[in-house]
Amino acid sequence: MAASDRTPDAIIVGAGLSGLVAASELVDAGRRVLILDQEPAASLGGQAHWSFGGLFLVDSPEQRRMGIRDSLELASEDWAGTAGFDREEDEWGRRWAEAYLEFAAGEKRDWLHGKGVRFFPVVGWAERGDGRALGHGNSVPRFHITWGTGPGVLAPFVARVKAGEAAGLVEFRHRHRVDELIVEGGAVVGARGAVLADDDAERGAPSNRDVVGEFEVRAPAVVVACGGIGGNHELVRQFWPERLGTPPAELLSGVPAHVDGRMLQITADAGARLVNGDRMWHYVEGIQNWDPIWPLHGIRILPGPSSLWFDATGSRLPAPLFPGFDTLGTLEHLVATGYGHSWFVLTQKIIEKEFALSGSEQNPDLTGKDLKLLAQRLGSGAPAPVEAFKEHGADFIVADTLDELLAEMGRRSPDVELDTANIAREVLAHDRALENDFGKDAQLAAVRGARASRGDKLIRVAAPHRFVDPANGPLIAVKLHLLTRKSLGGIQTDLSSRALGADGEPVPGLYAVGEAAGFGGGGVHGYRALEGTFLGGCLFSGRAAGRAIAAG
């Protein structure tokens, strides 16, 4: 008997990573699952497909092989200093954080390894922090890049769910947009909505919203796995917190347009409590994609620490707002300037070693598990996707001399009075500071400290060098924009991923996972993230929901 001929045990709204993890757990338990998604089948896997595949692990074999000493205690200290939990609504977020840290320091790696997931041997150091031992940031490298990037994380769960489909346990209904959750007797018992016209849009590209029919489906459990609001700039602006200032007039999108947040209010209308909507995670190192897939498509530079960073007027950012250190601290500082862009100034040596681009499609060596292509990262030249942006990207400037670079930077910012003389002073001061192996420049001290990490020295952080020395050139400037990405708040859930109502009690039949649930509890990260925790939150919350539903 086909899955469509029977009442499913669960309906999952959203075919991204968290929904697929929940579905795979249900398939393992022999349960029947109906997966609804408004997008075409080409977008199976959602945002996770586009990700770099970074996962937060604690005291892993990869860390130990790199000489990194990590522990649950240190990671917990870092998480607490980063999250800054300070609200009554943070009770469940804090509980999720404690449980997730135990997971990341315990069975997470073995669980994934058992499914065939493997990791690049060099552990990355993301969000290096605000300079305080008890403050924001990772004390040690914890960013484990999945071999295969985002698609490599998705692969075992897609395969398991597809096997469930072949066995008659899973039914996919793409182009099914949920407009309402059905509530009867205080319990969520199903969903109804619109059937959208077929669309051959490629993965991530906008699809039509032409309604060709209606549907209604029922099940004893409904899992909301709809993602966040990053593709909906109207909602981003609506929930933008006062503490971060006024959002820039122009934003780039780090996620497809269908990440629109519409299911959050639909879920609230069914009785769920939404919390921490003002907590969000946007990047300040966004560049315009020269080959875009979705509207306002931006790519994030994952920078090493050596580029000099200037605001739109030409003032160097203060310590410790160095590349890769404090995402939201830097965002708050830049927004306060009143402008929506900033500048990196760097050299060819830096771009070759320190520039990575976020996204599976920007890392064909890692995504394709191509060792020959990967080996080219150790040779001369930047990775091919980075060089492509340098050649074609609207935000890149390349020049042989500092005067030429600064002149073109001024031409690229006609509406802002750029203090090119100050930029020149800062570059020359940086170069003079290299005459000694010590000094007062905190950024140079941070670069030297980073190179004490084996992985950073090997492939991530360039040796300090003079910017104006032609042997290190050409000089490069990159105009950076604000890039929307993640919602840190959402539907409040308990540790079984059951959605909670305004009274703090579970809404019968309703579950929420992934970004829709603030990656667990309505905000497992608090105000800030340590990176590698977004995919991890999808894995952990999706697993919790699937197992809870299967257990009855």
pLDDT in tens, 148-193: 999 999 999 999 999 999 999 999 999 999 999 999 999 999 999 9
Q: How far apart are CA 532 and CA 101, in angstroms?
A: 12
φ, ψ for residue 74, nearest 5 deg: -65, -45
Instruction: Look up residue 53 and give its amino acid.
Output: G
pLDDT of residue 399: 98
Q: From the CB of residue 416, how many other CB atoms can be counted at a distance below 10 Å?
A: 16
Tell me what the mean pLDDT of segment 187-213 comes to.
98
pLDDT of residue 392: 96
Q: What is the pLDDT of residues 231-256, one digit of tens each?
A: 999 999 999 999 999 999 999 999 99
Residue 498 has pLDDT above 50, yes or no: yes
Q: What is the pLDDT of residues 92-115, one digit of tens each?
A: 999 999 999 999 999 999 999 999
Strand ranges across the sheet with 33-37: 170-174, 33-37, 10-13, 222-224, 506-512, 498-500
CB 361 within 8 A of CB 336: no
Q: How far apart are CA 395 and CA 416, in angstroms?
A: 16
pLDDT of residue 4: 54
Of the candidates 53, 93, 491, which has an alpha carbon nearest to the alpha carbon of residue 261? Answer: 491
Place of tokens 């603030």: 518
Query: What single DSSP character describes residue 420?
Result: H
3-state secondary structure 185-244: CCEEEEEEEEEECCCCCCCCCCCCCCEEEEEEEECCCEEECCCCCCCCHHHHHHHCCHHH
Band of the pLDDT at 511, cuts 50, 70, 90?
very high
Instruction: Look up residue 405 and give its amino acid.
Output: L
Q: How far apart are CA 175 and CA 198, in angstroms?
A: 7
Q: How far is CA 272 from the centre of its chain?
A: 25
pLDDT of residue 378: 75
Q: What is the pLDDT of residues 49-97, one digit of tens each?
A: 999 999 999 999 999 999 999 999 999 999 999 999 999 999 999 999 9
Angle between the N-to-C axes of helices 72-83 and 90-105, in degrees from 0 to 180, rounded to the nearest 10: 150
Q: Which two tokens stand for residue 212?
A: 């060709």
CB 228 within 8 A of CB 259: yes
Please report, rounded to a whole number, the percentage of residues in the chain having pLDDT higher than 90.
97
Q: Which two tokens stand for residue 356?
A: 């990575």
Q: Which two tokens stand for residue 426?
A: 């800062």
The contacts of residue 357 (CB under 8 Å, 6+ apart) are: 299, 300, 301, 302, 363, 383, 385, 386, 389
Tell me the pTM. Answer: 0.97
Alpha carbon distances (Å) from 369 to 116, 133, 157, 352, 380: 13, 37, 18, 20, 21
Residue 1 has pLDDT above 60, yes or no: no
Place of tokens 């039509």: 208
Bridge partners of 511, per DSSP, are 223, 498
Residue 422 has pLDDT above 60, yes or no: yes
Tell me what the mean pLDDT of segment 506-532 comes to.
98
Q: Which two tokens stand for residue 91?
A: 């009770």
Q: How far apart are CA 463 and CA 307, in angstroms?
A: 12
Tell me what the mean pLDDT of segment 268-288 comes to.
98
Q: How far apart are CA 202 and CA 225, in angstroms?
A: 21
The pLDDT mean for the chain works out to 96
Of the candidates 401, 450, 432, which has an alpha carbon nearest to the alpha carbon of residue 125? Answer: 450
Instruction: Look up residue 165 and give its amino acid.
Output: E
Residue 379 has pLDDT above 80, yes or no: no
Bridge partners of 55, per DSSP, are 144
pLDDT of residue 5: 64
CB 521 within 8 A of CB 96: yes
Tell me what the mean pLDDT of segment 1-29 comes to.
89
pLDDT of residue 2: 47
> Which run of H or of E encompasses 302?
strand 298-303
Q: How far apart are CA 177 and CA 194, in angstroms?
A: 5
